[in-house]
Amino acid sequence: MCGLCGTFAPDGTLDRTVSATMHARLVHRGPDESYSLSTPTLSMKLGRLGMTGLRDGWQPAEDATGRYAAVTNGEIYNAPELTRRLGIDSANRVDVALVPELFARHGTDGLKLIDGQFATAIYDRHRDTLHLGRDRFGICPLFYTVSGTHTHFASELRTLVTSVPGPWKTDLTAVDQYLSLGNIVAPRTLVRDIHAVPPGCVVTFGDGEPQVARYWRYGEFDTAAPPASGEEIRSTLGGAVRDRLRADVEIGAYLSGGFDSSTLVMEATRTLGRAPRTFSVLFEDAALDEGRFQREVSGAVGSEHREIHCGPRDIAAGFEDMVRHCCYPQRETYNVAARMLSDEVRRAGVKGVISGEGADELFFGYDSYVFDAARRRPPAAREENAHAWGRADFGWEVDWDRAARRRAHCFTPDTEKALEGAEFWRDRLIPYSDKEAAALTPMQLRSIADVYVQLGGHLLGDHGDLMLMANSIEGRYPFLGNEVVELSLRTADERKVADFEGKACLKAAYADVVPARVVNRAKQGFTAYGLDAVADDRLTARWRDLVAASGIFAPDALDRLTADPVPDKWDVRLSLISISAIIDELGLTL
Surface-to-core class of residue 308, CB atoms within 10 Å of its CB (0-12 exposed, 13-18 middle, 19+ buried): middle
Reply yes or no: is the peptide bond before residue 187 cis, omega within 30 of 0.
yes
Number of CB atoms found within 10 A of residue 240's CB: 25
Bridging pattern class, strands 201-205 and 195-196: unpaired
Q: Which amino acid is at 501?
A: E
CA-nearest of 356, 255, 365, 247 to 303 is: 255
Distance CA 40, CA 45 (A): 15
Phi first, then psi: give them for residue 59, nearest 5 degrees: -140, 155
Separation between Cα atoms, residue 101 and residue 113, nearest integer Å? 12
Q: Confidence band (pLDDT; 50, 70, 90) for 292?
A: very high
CA angle 162–164–165, rounded 5-degree value: 95
Query: Hey, which residues does 133 pair with through a beta bridge?
Result: 120, 202
3-state secondary structure of 61: strand
Q: How confident is the model at residue 171 (pLDDT cuts 50, 70, 90)?
A: very high
Contact 2/47 with Cβ under 8 angstroms? Answer: yes
* pLDDT at residue 1, rounded to an integer: 67
495 burial via Cβ count (<10 Å: 0-12, 13-18, 19+): middle
The answer to whether 169 touches 191, Cβ cutoff 8 Å, is yes
Smallest CA-to-CA distance from 547 within 168, 173, 175, 166 is with 175
Mark 430-458 as b/e (b = at least 16 C-beta within 10 Å). bbbeeebbeebebbbbbbbbbbbbbbbbb
What confidence score (pLDDT) does residue 277 get?
98
Mean pLDDT calculated for residue range 54-60: 87
CB atoms within 10 A of CB 36: 16
> Starting at the edge strand that comes first in sequence, how are the strands of the sheet with 251-254 ordered?
305-310, 278-283, 251-254, 352-354, 474-476
Q: What pLDDT score was predicted for residue 57?
A: 84
Cβ neighbours of 39 (radius 10 Å): 13
Give the neighbor-by-neighbor strand order of the sheet with 68-76. 61-62, 68-76, 116-124, 129-134, 201-205, 211-214
526: pLDDT strictly greater than 80? no
Rounded mean pLDDT, 206-218: 95
Q: Domains (ranges, CATH) in the chain?
A: 3-142+197-214 (3.60.20.10), 230-363+456-520 (3.40.50.620)
8-state DSSP, 198: P
Q: Look at the alpha carbons of 180, 181, 182, 188 in this order and tell me if their dihedral is positive or negative.
A: negative
- C-alpha torsion 326→332→337→340, nearest 10: 20
Q: What is the pLDDT of residue 380?
A: 86
The pLDDT of residue 280: 97
Return the bridge partners of 82, or none: none
272 Cβ partners below 8 Å, 6+ apart? Answer: 245
- Mean pLDDT over each residue of the chain, to the nearest integer: 95
414-420 long-range contacts (CB < 8 A, ≥24 apart) are: 414/590, 415/172, 415/552, 415/553, 415/590, 418/172, 418/590, 419/172, 419/173, 419/176
Tell me the pLDDT tens digit for each residue of 539-590.
999 999 999 999 999 999 999 999 999 889 999 999 999 999 999 999 999 8
The per-residue pLDDT for 333 is 97
Q: How many CA atoms are closer than 13 Å to the CA of 272, on its beta-carbon side?
A: 22
Cross-strand partners of 117: 75
Confidence check: pLDDT of 383 > 90 = yes
Answer yes or no: pTM beyond 0.85.
yes
Category of 214 on φ-ψ map: left (φ > 0), alpha (ψ -120 to 50) or beta? beta
Tell whether the model's pLDDT for residue 49 goes beyond 80.
yes
Residue 79: partners with Cβ closer than 8 Å, 6 or more residues away: 95, 98, 116
> What does the pLDDT look like over 231-250, one tens digit per residue?
999 999 999 999 999 999 99
Alpha-carbon distance 99 to 142, whole Å?
16
Distances (CA, A) of 202 to 98, 164, 254, 545: 17, 22, 31, 41
Does the pLDDT of residue 341 top 80, yes or no?
yes
Given a cut of 90, whether residue 2 has pLDDT beyond it is no
pLDDT of residue 369: 94
Which pLDDT belongs to residue 58?
Answer: 87
Report how far residue 94's alpha carbon sits from residue 55's, in angstroms, rounded to the nearest whole number: 9
The CA dihedral of 185, 253, 348, 273, to the nearest 10 degrees, is: -150
Q: Is the predicted pLDDT of residue 413 greater than 70, yes or no?
A: yes
Q: For residue 312, which of 528, 527, 491 has the smallest C-alpha distance? A: 528
**Alpha-carbon dihedral angle through residues 314, 330, 366, 447, given to the nearest 10 degrees:** -150
DSSP annotation of 379 reads P
